[in-house]
Every structure is written in C-alpha cells, then in structure tokens.
Amino acid sequence: MTSDLAAQLRAVSLRVTRPRLAVLAALHDHPHADTDTVISLVRTDQPMVSHQAIYDVLRALTDAGLVRRIQPAGATARYETRVGDNHHHLVCRSCGAIVDVECVTGQAPCLTASDDHGFAVDEAEVVFWGTCPACS
C-alpha cells in the first residue's frame, strides 16, 4: 500500500515523506478521523512527529485534493480519503459516528439552488442526521 500512497503524492506533485505516508495510511484505514485520532495513529509508528507537522500534512493533502475535510454542524473537523465524488454523510446525533452515503436519489429540488446568484455551483453538501443502530 505504501507504494500506492507514494504514487498518489507524486501524482499531485507532493514530496513523499514519512509523515505524509503515515497520515494517508491512517485515513485510508480510519475514514472520518478527527485530527486527534490522526495524531494518535501516526504517533504509533512515528512517535516524534509533532502536532504541527500533522496539521501541516493534513492541510497539504487537503489542498492537493487527496483528502477531503468535512465538518458537520457542531462537530469537530474530520478527514477522509474518499474524494472526487459528491457523496454525502450520515451522522449519529448521539455518538457522532459518521458513514458515507452515495449521492442522493429521487427528486432533487433541494439540490438545485433556487437562485445561484451568479455562482458556478459544482457541489452540493448533504448531511443526514439521526441515531445509529448502536445508539437506538
């Protein structure tokens, strides 16, 4: 997997570094992880990596389009490696669990802005809130 992650970094003109590889690997294995979780996961193998280095890596990966930052209302920011599609999320109001949902189907009056005010809309964000099976 490390060679795949390195290829992803090179494809977006980012240097391949141990912290970048570690953050990408952590996010591949733990989608929707918050920053503290990423720090813990990376420090398991690289205990000397600073908080700031991980914040910098997350920013670089997000800016390069390899990682997506999501922040449901009232929740801490989370990161995922599923990018390039317009998927949505289910969020548990009780425990905060987040899962991916494929693009919504059916009638879409809420997905087309009634007035785009001249914007070139290229994405719609939908967050479904409820209670997960474990909390029900």
Domains and CATH numbers, the chain: 2-78 (1.10.10.10), 85-136 (3.30.1490.190)
In the predicted model, is pLDDT for residue 105 greater than 90? no
44-89 pLDDT, tens digit per residue, is 999 999 999 999 999 999 999 999 999 988 888 999 999 988 788 9
Would you give the distance in Å from CA 55 to the centre of its chain?
A: 14
Model pTM score = 0.84
Would you give the distance in Å from CA 93 to the centre of its chain?
A: 19
Q: Is residue 103 part of an annotated ligand binding site?
A: no
Q: Is residue 95 part of an annotated ligand binding site?
A: yes
CA angle 127, 130, 132 (to 5 degrees): 115
Q: Is residue 132 part of an annotated ligand binding site?
A: yes
pLDDT value of position 65: 96
What 8-state DSSP symbol labels residue 103?
A: P
**Cα 6 to Cα 104: distance, rounded to the nearest angstrom:** 33
Question: In whole numbers, what is the pLDDT of the chain averaged over residues?
Answer: 89
Reduced to 3 states (helix: H, G, I; strand: E, B; else coil), residue 23 is helix
In the predicted model, is pLDDT for residue 109 greater than 50? no
